[in-house]
Amino acid sequence: MKQISTSAAPEAIGPYSQGWVAGGMVFTSGQIPVDPATGSVPEGISAQAEQSCKNVGAVLAAAGVGYEKVVKTTCFLADMGDFAVFNEVYARYFTGKPARSCVAVRELPKGVLCEIEAVALAE
């Protein structure tokens, strides 16, 4: 097992890591749309989805893989009314169409509008 850590994605805001490589798989923690360089959160679902996707990509890259190795994502939205816009952004990154769950939740950390976690092959 190997813990994933990169300054290219936001630091964990709790007692967890950005991800792990274990058993031939990469497991990312949920990535919220915090810009790792500034600590700021962009406005609106489109920009937030974009930043969350980039943050997932940074954790994957730190594990030595890319979006094409993702086999499953779990996506959390603060408002299911954002589903269509979120999908437009998500589709540009996860072009291999991994299996996915997408649910609306009552609230996300830092009041953000979305969060994405991923499972990928570590090959």
Instruction: Convert the pLDDT of each residue in 33-59 to its tens digit.
Output: 999 999 999 999 999 999 999 999 999
Quote the pLDDT of residue 13.
83
Q: Could you please report the per-residue DSSP string of 38-88?
A: T----SSHHHHHHHHHHHHHHHHHHTT--GGGEEEEEEEES-GGGHHHHHH
Q: Is 102 a catalytic residue?
A: yes
Q: Which fold has domain 2-121?
A: 60s Ribosomal Protein L30; Chain: A; (3.30.1330)
Work out the average pLDDT over 6-12.
Answer: 94
The fraction of the chain above a pLDDT of 90, given in percent, is 96
- Which residue in 53, 75, 102, 114 is the catalytic one? 102
Whether residue 31 contacts residue 50, with contact meaning beta carbons closer than 8 Å, is answered with: no
> Global pTM?
0.96
| pLDDT at 30 (0 to 100) | 97
What is the pLDDT at residue 86? 98
Q: How far apart are CA 32 and CA 8, in angstroms?
A: 13
